[in-house]
Amino acid sequence: MEGTLRVYADTSVFGGCFDDEFRAESVGFFEEVRAGRFVLVVSDVTLDELGLAPERYVAFWRICPRPG
The one-digit pLDDT tens for each residue of the chain (68 residues) are 568 899 999 999 999 988 999 999 998 999 999 899 999 999 999 999 988 988 888 887 888 776 65
Torsion angle (degrees, nearest 10) of CA 50, 17, 37, 9: -40
pLDDT at 8: 94
Q: Which of 55, 1, 63, 6 is nearest to 30 (CA)?
A: 63
pLDDT at 68: 56
Per DSSP, helices labelled H in the chain are 11-16, 23-34, 44-52, 55-63
27 class by beta-carbon count within 10 Å (0-12 exposed, 13-18 middle, 19+ buried): middle
pLDDT at 57: 82
pLDDT at 64: 76
